[in-house]
Amino acid sequence: MAKFEYAPAPESRAILHIRPSYGLFIDGEFVQSSGGSTFKTINPSSEEVLAEVTEAGAADVDIAVRAARKAFDGPWGRLPGAERAKYLFRIARILQERSREFAVLESLDNGKPIKESRDVDIPLAAAHFFYHAGWADKLDHAGLSDGAGQPPRPLGVVGQVIPWNFPLLMLSWKIAPALAAGNTVVLKPAETTPLTALLFAEVCQQADLPAGVVNIITGAGQTGRHLVEHPGVDKVAFTGSTHVGKAIARSLAGTRKRATLELGGKAANIVFDDAAIDQAVEGIVNGIFFNQGHVCCAGSRLLVQESVADDVVMRLKRRVETLRVGDPLDKNTDVGAINSAAQLARIRELTQIGESEGATRWSAPCVLPERGFWFAPTVFTGVSQAHRIAREEIFGPVLSVLTFRTPQEAVAKANNTPYGLSAGVWTEKGSRILWMADQLRAGVIWANTFNRFDPTSPFGGYQESGYGREGGRHGLEAYLRTGASR
Amino acid sequence: MSSPSATARARELLGVGALTNASMTRWLNGLPGVDQVGADARAAGLGTRSIKTTSKAWAIDTAIGMIDLTTLEGADTESRVRSLCAKAMAPDPGDPTTPQVAAVCIYSDLVPVAVDALRGSNIHVAAVTTAFPAGRATMAVKLTDTRDAVRAGAHEIDMVIDRAAFLSGRYLQVFNEIAAIKAACAQDDANGAANGAAARLKVILETGELATYDNVRRASWLAMLAGADFIKTSTGKLSPAATLPVTLIMLEAVRDWRDLTGTQIGVKPAGGIRTAKDAMTYLVMVNEIAGDDWVDPHWFRFGASSLLNDLLLQRQKLANGRYCGADYVTID
């Protein structure tokens, strides 16, 4: 028994009003489905049913796309950038004002700790709207015009499909640049985490956003397919698994539609022997246990220089033992619930494979709640490149530790993956950081930090991690028709 | 000048035949660096812990028991010190369940007064010596200052390091000074220490003058190598005094030192910790960085004066459900 136990410090749910059932948000209104069915969304930390949500069918998708088209051809398409900016600023302010409501709802529906939804997800979502509000009237000066001096134009109707790991944040990554560039949107949140997107629909109403500019349709894979394949959609933006991303790319091949795909990853977090060890350990923990490891750019492969490997692993385990796993709404929780039974099964399967392949498994000795979906933070040592846990995305709180001897070997191992979303480098030597960043094939390279996000910084992958960038000036390009592509 | 035992142990740890400034520099520079951004972020993260209800009550009492109740003014009089000692023994006269503080911290010439006033209690007398706070005096003066305090009955000695020597890279000189003061803390016939045991040595790094976290880590290791029983952030005479990231680095240092040598060393942040909320954040840090073993007045102290009254106000609030106001706690 520890001397200093922290008493429960739960964030109150009283601020929230979750409706028993939700329709679809189309053309500025919540409407009933025309023929679709319903499904339930649950709290993954307790399996409590939170609300009943509509599963949009093909007819619903069609109505939503038409509403978006009408808004694009109508008032929104003719609105000057400065006017669009006002709406985006207004949405950003409302997100900040209602941040506690959003944070509690996100933690309930997703299972992530309240300290992360409160301190990371919601503030960053608001920041994306603020940032893109600033671009809306400056697109002519973003360096995206063609040689003839023609200003860039919006694409039209954008179909967007987002994942369950950062529900509101991924929504903001998609909607903010699309609207700043003058497009209209039909967005489908993930089937396990639809609630903050539906609350965002209320924000659109509160901000008096013209009807049809943002449409939110809920549903699972089939609804997403209807949206992606709808002929009225000009562009598809998808964040999710590489498996689904490939299917989308296949279905779009040969059409006029454009696509950006932000897919899986198996990032290397590379620790050199001269690194600031205590901070590197923090970076490793943040890299893989942040958001239960449900992060596409998670540092799921630790590459540590052999000369410090034992020390780093010892410190890492000691640190992981202090992580507090439990009630996502408790302000002292560090690691929350796994988002769904299906995801938990996938994590269990891959960790089982890791053991049978001969890697050494260590899990933090924490007591897991009985109800809900839970997985203790886990570290595999003795992992080699050939093991599946070193190659496949686990998307859970599971770290694979590999070692290297020279910088060249670190680069070779880090790049030896079909993915290429992110990488981390830990060293006190500035020249080595630059050399590594030059050699690593990944869209984001963090030096002496990990999992830091900012709306000004483009994010996206190499190879099977997808294509296109989100955020920054580069991210705007994905939502604009410019010179060559007119 | 330094004690043979400190030098012998240092030679062994450094793996050198002769202790030179060069060998000491190499050893200190071989410590892993501290990334400032990461250290600040970790400290800020611990600051978001939410300590409520029963934990809060426990933390408040624990923090009171860790206070070195301090007065270090040129204007300190005998009666001021006696008044402080009375407060140390009965922090809240209206509530006898209130724990006593750990120690009273005063200038060395007032040690006899404090020893007399605290007689019969378990509260320690800590004396600042070595030409506190600047440390600008000859070694002979610093030693005499320390011996006087020990002879007068001080249980704990708070010394300052020579920051000038440290910043100009004369690490061996800093080492020798600490080791010599440590020897002067020992009870022997020459010292004639009155309390029957060696005084525990707290080494003040004055981190506000060391400028970088790398320096804080090096100074911590240097002090521990030379025989410190405690490493302490600040004199309290300079801003910034104690900060969360600096204390974090010192807690990492004592944790790693015990892993290396098996010897446990205490930590004392001093100066600038004024509220119960601050104190609880420090306790969270002790708990999560150094661990359970340091959550104890023998191994962790707060150098503070106004902190005590805020802890008492919060304690009353927990007991009565309302804030009583400043007139319901005593001004030492």
Q: pLDDT (tens digit, 9 = 90+) per residue, A309-327?
A: 999 999 999 999 999 999 9
**A190 lies in the same domain as A253:** yes
Instruction: Please provide the DSSP assignment of A364-388 as one string.
Output: ---PPPSSS-----EEEES--TTSH
Name the closest residue on chain B to residue A280, using Cα atoms. Answer: B38
Whether A194 maps to a domain, the answer reads yes
Q: Is residue A63 part of a domain?
A: yes
* A282/B50 CB distance under 8 A: no
pLDDT in tens, B77-97: 999 999 999 999 999 999 999
The structure's pTM equals 0.96
B34 at the A interface (CB within 8 A)? yes
Mean pLDDT of A59-64: 98
Q: Looking at the domain assignment, is residue A206 inside a domain?
A: yes
Tokens of B210: 């060391």
A284-301 pLDDT tens trace: 999 999 999 999 999 999
Any domain includes A421: yes
Total number of domains constituting chain B? 1
Give the residue ranges of DSSP H helices in A143-217.
167-180, 195-206
Nearest to A470 by CA among A429, A434, A437, A421: A421
ipTM of the complex: 0.95
pLDDT digits (tens, 9 = 90+) for A2-46: 899 999 999 999 999 999 999 999 999 999 998 879 999 999 999
Residue-wise pLDDT tens digits, A62-82? 999 999 999 999 999 999 999
* pLDDT above 90 (res B2): no
Tens of pLDDT, residues B6-28? 899 999 999 999 999 999 999 99
- Measure in Å the smallest separation between the Cα of B51 and chain A Cα atoms: 6
Q: Is B33 on the interface with A (CB under 8 A)?
A: yes
Q: What is the span of the domain harbouring residue A151?
A: 21-263+464-485
**Minimum Cα–Cα distance from B60: chain A residue:** A4
Rounded to 5 degrees, what are φ and ψ at B331? -90, 100
CA of A390 to nearest chain B CA: how many angstroms apart?
A: 27
* pLDDT tops 70 at residue B192: no
> Distance between terminal CA atoms of chain B?
41
Taking CB atoms and an 8 Å cutoff, what residues of chain A touch B58? 4
- Tokens describing residue B140: 């002979």
Which SS3 state, helix, strand or coil, does residue A52 take? strand
**Which residues of chain B make contact with A116, given a CB cutoff of 8 A?**
none
- For residue A15, being part of any structural domain is answered with no
Per-residue model confidence (pLDDT) at position A483: 66
CATH code: domain of residue B139: 3.20.20.70
- Residue B89 near residue B323, CB atoms below 8 Å: no
Q: How many distinct structural domains can be found in chain A?
A: 2
Contacts of B56 in chain A (CB under 8 A): 7
Cα(A272)–Cα(A247) distance, rounded to whole angstroms?
Answer: 39
Q: What is the three-class DSSP state of B126?
A: strand
What pLDDT score does B191 carry? 47
> Chain A residues with CB inside 8 Å of B288's CB?
322
| Same domain assignment for residues A95 and A121 | yes
pLDDT in tens, B40-71: 999 999 999 999 999 999 999 999 999 999 99
Same domain, A418 and A477: no
Nearest to B283 among A4, A7, A119 (CB): A4
- Asked if the structure places residue A1 within a domain, the reply is no
- In the predicted model, is pLDDT for residue B291 greater than 50? yes
Q: Locate B9 and state its tokens.
A: 């142990």
Same-domain status, A228 and A280:
no
Residue B203 sits in which domain range? 4-328
When scoring A3, A317, A320, A427 by the number of chain B Cβ atoms within 10 A, the one with the most, hence best to mutate, is A3
pLDDT of B331: 85
CB contact under 8 A, B295 and A277: no
* Residue A472 belongs to a domain: yes
Q: What is the CATH number of the domain that holds A112?
A: 3.40.605.10
Average pLDDT rounded to a whole number, residues A253-278: 97
pLDDT one-digit tens code per residue, A130-173: 999 999 999 999 888 766 778 899 999 999 999 999 999 999 99
Taking CA atoms, what residue in B is nearest to A323?
B288
Flag whether A317 is in a domain: yes
